[in-house]
DNA sequence: TCTGGGGTCCTAGGACCC
DNA sequence: TCTGGGGTCCTAGGACCC
């Protein structure tokens, strides 16, 4: 954008993919258009994405699979295990398209992004947003809803309202903003969760509009901390949620539930080694090193059990999988109690800094980092798939691995696996 | 019997210091 | 017999998000 661009008011658009994971699966199964389908969490534990038709049957996001099973069977709902490689691939394509429509794209999650709309002439917001939706739908096949407003909180509310209305796009300001907020429960606002909504309801602040009009700042702070105050101010058109810098994670985690109970220490070591490999790969991917490691084990069942952790901090941060894995295994051995059963494990990397500016200890010898070996490992795994090359301590049997009974077929694992077909009408 | 995984931000309270 | 006030840093836990 040139600096001579007209000074129009700041506006944001939120582009939000509709039931994203379901839409991704449906791309490869056009026969499921208009039919109910659900995507399951890792380990096939609960429902994380539901098509509109599935919601209409009374199924709920987050519901455990064993409670949903009967409805699913009765109505022949199509069921998929989650396939993050596919979703990530399609997400990148959607984001690349959105990027063409704004000088500043802020990717917020796998299926949502904020677009700076300041370059759109006032009055053209909905037309422009509608155009974006049509383009993404045509080129990629994923439906998105676009909400526009003076702040991010309003843009979020607008996209939610657009979905509800079945509209491709919605710009909220003036009277339309007021009537929409009056009809919206305060708990449906971005940043107001269930706990906070309960507190607000107790004080008679029931709708989004009630919160917007509430002048007792001290009370808002007391109930919701500064987070709630910011939501209220955003509703008033004050732009106060700064761009979250998602470029570098300050903490990297990798945790999984097991497919079945684990008793054996060696199995735990394998699992934790595997998660350590994933986490270090992410760490190197963002060009960082970590100074601390926490190992987490869940003893007992996934719901009633208790989590136990142990951590270690080292003087010179590292990104070397071998080094971190040795530490992780030592922590597993410290935590392990024979006779106990475990349902889940994980690793957290923290004290993360960019590799270049890591403060190394004067006394400690520099740890191996960014070695050619790690580079080669990452390159191979990127090309041939995660886990092609890994530490021996990760094991080969991996009995503890999670369930994925409904994974879509191998040919649909990655977009790039697809055969390109051109058809011409004669 | 069965309930995901990966993040961020904020606050209260303890430890410690002068 | 008597026992301040203020600051910083760290950590655990709560709440929220997708």
Q: Which of the four pLDDT bands, split at 50, 70 and 90, describes residue A295?
A: very high
Whether residues A42 and A190 share a domain: the answer is no
We report the CATH number of the domain holding residue A373 as 3.30.1490.100
Q: What one-character DSSP code corresponds to residue A294? A: E
Q: Measure A65 CA to C16 C1' (Å).
A: 24
Q: Measure A196 CA to B14 C1' (Å).
A: 27
Asked whether residue A260, judged by its CB, lies under 7 Å from any atom of the DNA or RNA strand B, the reply is no
Nucleotide nearest to A200 (CA to C1'): C15
Tell me the three state secondary structure of residue A60. Answer: coil
Q: Measure A256 CA to B5 C1' (Å).
A: 7
Give residue-wise pLDDT tens across range A187-238: 999 999 999 999 999 999 999 999 999 999 999 999 999 999 999 999 999 9
* Structural domain includes residue A400: no
Sign of CA dihedral A347, A22, A160, A170: positive
Q: Please, which residues have CB within 8 angstroms of residue A262's CB and are 6 or more apart in sequence?
A: A268, A271, A341, A342, A343, A399, A400
pLDDT in the model for residue A3? 52
Nucleotide nearest to A112 (CA to C1'): C18
Whether residues A127 and A8 share a domain: the answer is yes
Whether residues A6 and A98 share a domain: the answer is yes
Q: Which residue has the higher pLDDT, A6 or A272?
A: A272
* Structural domain includes residue A188: yes
Q: Measure A388 CA to B12 C1' (Å).
A: 46
Give residue-wise pLDDT tens across range A322-335: 999 999 999 999 99
pLDDT in the model for residue A412? 45
Q: What is the mean pLDDT of residues A64-86?
A: 94
Whether residues A224 and A200 share a domain: the answer is yes
Whether residues A46 and A150 share a domain: the answer is yes
Whether residues A22 and A159 share a domain: the answer is yes
Is there a contact between A181 and A207 (Cβ–Cβ < 8 Å)? yes
Residue A241 has pLDDT above 50, yes or no: yes
Total domain count, chain A? 3
Whether residues A271 and A234 share a domain: the answer is no
Residue A287 sits in which domain range?
252-394
Give residue-wise pLDDT tens across range A406-425: 877 544 445 555 545 556 55
Percent of chain A whose predicted confidence (pLDDT) is above 90: 69
Whether residues A196 and A268 share a domain: the answer is no
């Amino acid at each position: 954008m040139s600096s001579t661009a007209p000074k129009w008011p700041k506006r944001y658009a939120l582009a939000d993919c509709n039931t994203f994971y379901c839409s991704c699966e449906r791309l490869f199964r056009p026969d499921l258009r208009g039919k109910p389908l659900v995507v399951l969490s890792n380990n096939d534990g609960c429902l994380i994405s539901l098509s509109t038709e599935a919601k209409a049957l009374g199924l709920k996001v987050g519901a455990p699979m064993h409670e949903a099973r009967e409805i699913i069977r009765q109505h022949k709902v199509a069921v998929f295990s989650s396939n993050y490689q596919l979703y990530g691939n399609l997400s990148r394509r959607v984001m690349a398209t959105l990027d063409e429509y704004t000088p500043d794209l802020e990717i917020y999650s796998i299926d949502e992004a904020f677009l700076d709309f300041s370059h759109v002439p006032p009055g053209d917001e909905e037309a422009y947003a509608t155009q974006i939706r049509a383009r993404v739908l045509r080129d990629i096949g994923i439906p998105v809803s676009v909400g526009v407003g003076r702040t991010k909180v309003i843009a979020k509310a607008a996209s939610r309202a657009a979905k509800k209305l079945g509209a491709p796009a919605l710009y909220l300001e003036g009277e339309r903003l007021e009537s929409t907020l009056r009809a919206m429960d305060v708990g449906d606002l971005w940043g107001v969760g269930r706990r906070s909504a309960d507190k607000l309801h107790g004080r008679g602040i029931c709708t989004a509009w009630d919160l917007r009009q509430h002048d007792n700042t001290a009370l808002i702070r007391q109930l919701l901390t500064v987070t709630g105050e910011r939501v209220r101010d955003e509703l008033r058109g004050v732009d106060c949620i700064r761009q979250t810098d998602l470029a570098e994670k300050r903490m990297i985690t990798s945790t999984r539930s097991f497919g079945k109970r684990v008793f054996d220490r060696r199995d735990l070591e394998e699992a934790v080694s595997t998660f350590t490999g994933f986490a270090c790969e992410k760490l190197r991917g963002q060009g960082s090193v970590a100074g601390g490691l926490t190992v987490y084990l869940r003893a007992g069942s996934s719901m009633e059990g208790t989590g136990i952790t142990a951590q270690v901090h080292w003087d010179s941060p590292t990104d070397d999988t071998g080094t971190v894995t040795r530490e992780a295994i030592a922590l597993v051995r410290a935590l392990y109690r024979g006779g106990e059963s475990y349902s889940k494990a994980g690793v957290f990397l923290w004290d993360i800094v960019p590799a270049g500016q890591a403060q190394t200890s004067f006394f400690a010898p520099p740890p191996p980092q960014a070695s050619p070996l790690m580079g080669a490992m990452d390159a191979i795994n990127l090309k041939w798939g995660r886990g092609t090359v890994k530490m021996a301590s990760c094991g080969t049997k991996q009995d503890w691995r999670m369930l994925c009974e409904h994974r879509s077929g191998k040919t649909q694992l990655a977009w790039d696996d697809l055969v390109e077909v051109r058809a011409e009408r004669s």
